[in-house]
């Protein structure tokens, strides 16, 4: 196991908080896969972030992903008002195919040992490529894991909570842009109909929205048919004519090529890092497109496992999740008042809370 501290981020968040507390990289003794765990900050509490299992072109790409996502988790927790820091675990899968059987178990046990080596500084949970059953295997090697199956006393699948938070953020955007938070007749295009996207689609349809769905998995078309939603080809979705564009899969869908061609009034979705480059937030503001910073929008999943960690009841969880809408409304209003972007205001809010936590701990 190798360890580096003070790793300088390559990404453009403000302030000295771009320095990471720790980066650990290991080659799993059972599986041989590269594992990276990045701890960005523990100023407010232990660094909590999911275990992402993904096939990268090189291990270096996986390490950089861990760094990028760990930093985002710090700001997500701070903006949500949670007593958590930010971290992320990345497992570099050996091939694009999902590891199964004994290989998967070996990978997860190796990851559990890597988590345990940090002594509670990092707490893991499910993420892209992992689920509650995987957390149960990781828990064989460390107690610093949340998101366990319900039968194990855990919070289980966080996607219903995440979807509820996205809906709260989306309503806040509608209220800011149109002066009305009602869903009736609102045209929403959801990119990615996985766990969160499918649940968001149901909530929107139940609220009277006109929903369009796409996914790289064509079998998801059945969901659109079941809900009475419209199906659109994945290659056309980013430029769909809609009120709200809701990316709910992998990030980077709004890039330099698409930002000036968007045909939506609002961008608000569950995906991490919706913007391929943070400077695109300025372009969206210039065009009058309301952008809801994703690290606030998708905090419901983090809140779900935070509740498990701190034994909050469902009422406490609901209050924290619904507050996502209040926070989005605040940053949108402040951006308009200061002539900045919602992303800049969201980052500023998170930094204020981080500095306050660091000062209290000093």
211: which strand partners? 188
* 3-state secondary structure (DSSP) of residue 153: coil
Q: Which of these, 141, 180, 124, 158, lies nearest to 30 by C-alpha position?
A: 141
Cβ neighbours, 10 Å, residue 326: 11
214: which strand partners? 191
Full DSSP string of 321-347: HHHHHHHHHHHHHHHHHHTS-HHHHHH
Per the annotation, the verdict on 88 as an active-site residue is yes
Report the distance separating Cα 112 and Cα 224, nearest Å.
38
- Among residues 10, 76, 88, 226, the one annotated as catalytic is 88
Q: β-strands 122-126, 47-54: how paired?
A: parallel
Would you say 48 and 306 are in contact if contact means Cβ atoms under 8 Å apart? yes
Q: Residues with catalytic annotation?
A: 88
């Amino acid at each position: 196991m190798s360890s580096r501290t003070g790793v300088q981020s390559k990404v453009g968040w403000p302030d000295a908080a771009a320095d990471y507390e720790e980066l650990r990289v290991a080659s799993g003794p059972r599986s041989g896969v590269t594992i990276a765990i990045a701890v960005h900050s523990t100023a407010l509490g232990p660094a909590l972030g999911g275990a992402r299992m993904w096939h990268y072109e090189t291990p270096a790409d996986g390490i950089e992903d861990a760094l990028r996502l760990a930093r985002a988790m710090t700001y997500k927790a701070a903006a949500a008002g949670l007593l958590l820091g930010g971290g992320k675990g990345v497992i570099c899968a050996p091939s694009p195919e999902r590891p199964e059987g004994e290989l998967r178990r070996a990978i997860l046990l190796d990851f559990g040992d890597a988590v345990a080596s940090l002594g509670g500084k990092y707490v893991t949970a499910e993420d892209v490529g992992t689920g509650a059953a995987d957390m149960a295997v990781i828990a064989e090697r460390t107690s610093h894991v949340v998101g366990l199956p319900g039968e194990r006393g855990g919070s289980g699948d966080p996607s219903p909570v995440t979807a509820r938070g996205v809906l709260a953020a989306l309503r806040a955007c509608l209220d800011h842009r149109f002066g009305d938070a009602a869903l009736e007749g609102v045209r929403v295009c959801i990119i990615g109909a996985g766990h969160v996207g499918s649940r968001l689609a149901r909530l929107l349809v139940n609220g009277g929205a006109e929903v369009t769905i796409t996914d790289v998995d064509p079998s998801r078309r059945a969901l659109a048919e079941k809900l009475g939603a419209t199906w659109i080809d994945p290659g056309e979705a980013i430029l769909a004519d809609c009120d709200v564009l809701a990316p709910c899969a992998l990030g980077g869908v709004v890039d330099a090529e698409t930002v000036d061609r968007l045909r939506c009034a609002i961008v608000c979705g569950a995906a991490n890092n919706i913007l391929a480059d943070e400077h695109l937030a300025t372009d969206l503001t210039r065009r009058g497109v309301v952008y809801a910073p994703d690290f606030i929008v998708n905090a419901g999943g983090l809140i779900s496992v935070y509740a498990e960690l701190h034994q909050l009841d469902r009422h406490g969880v609901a209050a924290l999740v619904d507050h996502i809408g209040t926070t989005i409304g605040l940053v949108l209003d402040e951006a308009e008042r200061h002539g900045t972007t919602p992303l800049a205001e969201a980052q500023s809010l998170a930094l204020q809370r981080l500095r306050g936590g660091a000062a209290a701990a000093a």
